Chains A and B, each alone.
Chain A
């Protein structure tokens, strides 16, 4: 069974640009959550999607947004990139809300 797939693995963007990251959950999993990992702040929850609806949102500015498609695949978008947005962005999928969450390998975003 394939795991959580995140694309791309690495990205370099310029300040002010926007970026879209993609996540394909484990087959059959319906919940997708996104996290930001940085050395200073650790792992922080961004948002959770289930049945194409955002169910939860962390304390991040509105520049961070996401969506989920009918096949459970999810994308997150960051607009007007800032240097501080440089991080590893992780996607986790679970069968249902509140069940075991499995992470992908992440997308390493560098903003220059």
Chain B
């Protein structure tokens, strides 16, 4: 019940296209869903996060869509750029458990110029 399943494992998108990464969770107690971006040799950087009281959150070119009934959430990267090429991780946590984040396996995104 603690798993977060992430897909696809890897993704190739043309410059200017839309990158879509999906995550599904089982534990309905999760109430915080962040996305992280990681470049080689660096730690994960917080991109955007959502809580279940909203269905969508947008920050610049990054949008999280959240479907509580389906227990799914996704990251959309609009107008994808070569600089977006990185590994993306979704995660989930239950607030009363503090910062015990459960991570997805990661998606390697490559944006072709």
Q: Which residues of A contact B46 (CB under 8 A)?
A: 100-103
The answer to whether B98 and A55 have CB atoms under 8 Å apart is yes
Interface of B is mostly: mixed
- Which of under 10, 10 to 19, 20 to 34, or 35 or more describes the interface residues of B? 20 to 34
Q: Specify the main secondary structure of chain A where it touches its partner.
A: strand
- The yes or no answer to A58 lying at the interface (CB within 8 A) is yes
> When A and B form their complex, what is the total count of cross-chain residue pairs whose Cβ atoms lie within 8 Å?
69
B53 on interface, CB distance cutoff 8 Å: no
Chain A residues closer than 8 Å to B73, beta-carbon distance: none
Q: Is A50's CB under 8 angstroms from B100's CB? A: no
A63 CA to B76 CA in the complex, in Å?
40
Interface membership of A83, Cβ < 8 A: no
Q: Which B residues lie within 8 Å of A104 (CB)?
A: 43
Chain B proximity of A58: nearest CB distance (Å): 7
C-alpha gap A100/B104 in the complex (Å): 17
In whole angstroms, what is the CA distance A4 to B46 when docked? 13
Asked if B43 and A98 sit within 8 Å, CB to CB, the answer is: no
Give Cα distance in the complex from A4 to B36, angstroms.
15
Inter-chain CA distance A35–B91, complex, in Å, is: 13
Are B99 and A31 neighbours in the complex by a CB distance under 8 Å?
A: yes
Chain B residues positioned under 8 Å from A6 (CB to CB): 43
- Asked if B93 is at the interface (CB within 8 A of a chain A CB), the reply is yes
Q: Contact flags (1/0) for A44-76 with B, using CB distance below 8 Å?
A: 110010100001101000000000000000000
> How far apart sit A42 and B42, CA to CA, in the bound complex (Å)?
15
Measured between alpha carbons, how far is A70 from B21 in the docked complex, in Å? Answer: 40
- Asked if B42 and A92 sit within 8 Å, CB to CB, the answer is no
By Cβ-Cβ distance, the 6 closest A-B pairs, closest first, are: A97-B98, A103-B43, A98-B95, A43-B103, A33-B99, A56-B100
Q: Which residues of A contact B (CB under 8 A)?
A: 4, 6, 31, 33, 35, 42-45, 48, 50, 55-56, 58, 90, 92, 94, 97-106
Q: A43-B101, A98-B97, A103-B36 are in contact. List 19 more A-B contacts (CB 8 A).
A: A4-B43, A35-B101, A43-B103, A44-B103, A45-B102, A48-B100, A50-B98, A55-B98, A56-B97, A56-B98, A58-B100, A92-B99, A92-B101, A97-B95, A97-B99, A98-B95, A101-B34, A101-B46, A106-B43
